[in-house]
Structure 1
């Protein structure tokens, strides 16, 4: 984990109300560059709501959001993206009929030079070279760049989605990846593949927030774990200082909050 004095993403006293329902209650949360923070909790604990606040999909009722120490307000997901925050949803948002290279380059296509470029013709060869270079840097091995996504396994599809987001937050200033249950529909070997990629992305300086119900995955891959229960943060500590039984206690409410 990279040690930094300023968090890549920090939330201070964030509240989220839906009418009389308080989905988030004064949440403090942060993740630093090169750190993987697990966000755990039962269904309805507030994990998805907190991710939506981080990704700009929802504006909090109150509270402060800071990116690299600078206070900001996200009016939309595109504003969060511009700030270096990428969300990887469970549905992956891949174009099944297109190949791996095209999916990795969505939204940042390389156009041909000259008149063909003026007409919007894509330079597929240049895109494949860039995609291969980026995957090599992340240590990712998938199928050939020309293979349609619909022909990939579940694990390969997840790797493509993660790698696509990772390439958008790496560069001169590393960003933040928000992962929503990335291994929910995967088997053991595919989960191990995704887990290894998450750690490699962190090693490249990316800050990662991992929402998962998979406790073994959280214990293996996360540097720190935060637990939500009914919209309140009840635990936040280094993974090495907790265990499975403690986490289950906080998730179910059988264990008292660290902040009571």
Structure 2
């Protein structure tokens, strides 16, 4: 692969090792408003190569809006959005793909009845022959899909089987391998373990770590702090559209991350209310100081 080779989407694939001290994607005080509704405000986020940045938050916290800004579906209305240190404002997801930012949504954008190899190249099929009688290069697509899946440690006995027959975890892994093949430098994963059992979640987490080891910057969107802590290098917790926590792995424990995710202040208030209810024992619940203990932010250290 030469330094000027391009992927199917036009993203330039570089041979040189990326600078791990420089973020690929950075948000500075970014926000998004829909009319009078402020969905996101003052968000700072840095995504470095070979790191998994976990973005956690409850329903309505602003995770989906954050994804849409970075993936080019929506534009930010405040702050800055930088890629490789240059301010950008994507008009379409295709522009984000051209910069190497790929998103794997929960629905995976696959066609269940189509074979695995066909879904791997869906929308970006390889062709051969002269125009206007070009045709699909089926053998090359099968071979390439098999090689790329194996490079990610995914071995499937039959690429002809409908992708709908694979487990949820396997489908997620195929989608991750597809994004890596088409030149992704930043991989956004939208709740990849939300509808999976323990074993299949473990499979997906394994391939998230594999993508990080291949030099990608991974944004792992989740509401499960345990899954995040297994693979995460940096943690950002959103609450009602603002960043409540921004800390690296060595600055926050799993217990502290869980408390922030669950809403320490709200839980402290709930404990006080429950103490007024007859028959409810709150002695075993964490103390308010434990629930609301501040965690050092890594902002400015990265």
TM-score higher than 0.5 here? yes
Separation in structure 1 between the aligned mates of residue 236 and residue 156 of structure 2, nearest angstrom: 32
> Cα offset for 1:103?
1.0
CA distance in structure 1 between the partners assigned to 2:230 and 2:295 by the alignment: 23
Residue pairs, 1:105-144, within 5 angstroms: 105-114=121-130, 118-144=132-158
Q: Report the CA distance between 1:239 and its aligned residue.
A: 2.0
Contact 1:234-1:258 at 8 Å conserved across structures: no
SS at match of 1:33: coil
Distance 2:25 2:103 in 1: 13
The answer to whether the Cα contact below 8 Å between 1:98 and 1:148 also exists between their aligned partners in 2 is yes
Equivalent residue for 1:20, pick from 33, 36, 61: 36
Task: Tell me the distance in 2 between the aligned counterparts of 1:125 and 1:196.
Answer: 29
What CA distance in whole angstroms lies between the structure 2 residues aligned with 1:253 and 1:18? 28
TM-score normalized by the length of structure 2: 0.79
Count of residue correspondences: 252
Q: Please list, as runs of the form range in 1=range in 2, the aligned pairs for 1:157-236 lying within 5 A after superposition.
A: 157-170=171-184, 175-236=185-246
TM-score, length of structure 1 as denominator length: 0.91
- What's the C-alpha RMSD, in Å, of the aligned pairs? 1.8
Alpha-carbon distance, 1:253 to partner: 4.7
> Is contact 2:125–2:136 with CA below 8 Å preserved after alignment?
yes
What are the superposed Cα offsets for residues 89-108 of structure 1, whole Å, 9 maximum, x if unpaired?
A: 11110011211111111232
User: Alpha-carbon deviation of 1:249?
Assistant: 2.8
Counterpart of 2:63? 47
Gaps of 5+ in 1: none
State the structure with more CA Rg. 2
**Conservation of the 8 A alpha-carbon contact between 1:36 and 1:221:** yes
Match of 2:250 in 1: 240
Question: Can you list the C-alpha shifts for 1:48-106, whole angstroms capped at 9, x where unaligned?
Answer: 11111111111111121111122211111111111111111111100112111111112
CA 1:12/1:95 → structure 2, altered by over 3 Å: closer, same or farther?
same
Q: 1:156 aligns with which of 167, 170, 180?
A: 170
Shift of the alpha carbon at 1:201?
0.6
Structure 1 residue 85 corresponds to structure 2 residue 101? yes
- Residue number in structure 2 paired with 1:73: 89
| Separation in structure 2 between the aligned mates of residue 236 and residue 6 of structure 1, nearest angstrom | 18
Greater relative contact order structure (CA < 8 Å, 6+ sep): 1
After superposition, give the CA deviation of every residue in 1:95-136 in whole Å (9 maximum; x if it has no partner). 11211111111232111334xx63242111111111112122
* Matches of 1:58 and 1:253, distance apart in 2: 31
